[in-house]
Amino acid sequence: MPRLVTKESPQMPNRRSGDPRLQHGRDARRPQGSADRNQPVLGKLLSILRLVYAPVMLWAVMIAGDDTIALSAFGLAIVTDLLDSWLNRKQLGSRRSGELLDVVANTVFVLAATLALWQIDVIPWPIALLVPLRLVGLLAMIPALRSRGVRTLPVHLLGKVAAFCMLASFPLLYLSHDIPETLDLGLEPSLPIQVAQAFGWAFALWGILLLWWSLVLYAQEARRLMATTPPLEKGGATRA
């Protein structure tokens, strides 16, 4: 009689058999440790640079009036934020602490730059007020999250894009306000000033719009969490 030929099922990985795919819960294709250990250090350093340069930028804009230092601080904020985003896309590491530090650094720098440009009459107060009010909305969610044992919500891409738009707007708005005498060629106002103002305000308004849109998404996520997760029992552990 003809033999029945059955297709052998692929052998399932077994932790006890020593299959490298399941050792220590890691994929065997990933080099052990190198990216996860090194990237958070670099990412945190980039975020710390933004935190350090925030007060430097405030001093340069509001007190010293030093264009070189102010523009260097704005440029450094943009470059470090882009590097952080590039590292995340390459998946060289995605530890929660580094991600949160990046968000904190962007928030502090955006708030500081908004305050500085409002102080020198570049940004009118109604628009400048929208930035800290959005932060107040985020902070207001914390008690509800803590009641469900959650410290923070996952960082949304929309918030990252919004922060970059704000960072990109600051040097353009600062230039368009600070050096009209240097670029004025007899036209009132000069074409370079008009271009800088147009792009600066485009980035700023898109950034503020996206900041508030991301706040709506965070609020929806918090409401969903409140509806689906029971309150944390007294003495329970807090989740990330």
- pLDDT in the model for residue 6: 46
- pLDDT in the model for residue 173: 93
Residue pair 16/73 in contact by the 8 Å Cβ criterion: no
Task: Report the chain's mean pLDDT, rounded to a whole number.
Answer: 77
- pLDDT in the model for residue 109: 95
Higher pLDDT, 82 or 169: 169
- pLDDT in the model for residue 4: 47
The angle that helices 125-140 and 96-119 make with each other, rounded to 10 degrees, is 150
User: Over 80: is that where the pLDDT of 187 sits?
Assistant: no
User: What is the average pLDDT across 199-224?
Assistant: 93
User: What is the average pLDDT across 178-189?
Assistant: 50
Tens of pLDDT along 70-113?
Answer: 999 999 999 988 887 777 666 544 555 557 788 889 999 999 99
- pLDDT in the model for residue 237: 54
User: Over 70: is that where the pLDDT of 179 sits?
Assistant: no
First to last CA, the chain: 63
CA distance 84 to 103: 10
Residue pair 164/81 in contact by the 8 Å Cβ criterion: yes
Q: What is the DSSP letter of 152?
A: -
Tens of pLDDT along 117-133?
Answer: 999 999 999 999 999 99
Amino acid code (one letter) for 94:
S
Close Cβ partners of 107 (under 8 Å, ≥ 6 residues apart): 135, 163
- pLDDT in the model for residue 125: 92
CA distance 124 to 152: 32
Closest to 207 measured CA to CA, from 148, 239, 173, 159: 159
User: What is the average pLDDT across 7-17?
Assistant: 45
- pLDDT in the model for residue 46: 84
- Ranges 7-11, 131-135, 172-176, 234-238: which has the least confidence: 7-11
| Residue 89: count of CB within 10 angstroms of its CB | 8
Q: What are phi and psi of 63, to 5 degrees?
A: -115, -60
Work out the angle at residue 152's Cα, subtended by the Cα atoms of residues 231 and 117, and round it to the nearest 5 degrees: 140
Close Cβ partners of 206 (under 8 Å, ≥ 6 residues apart): 162, 165
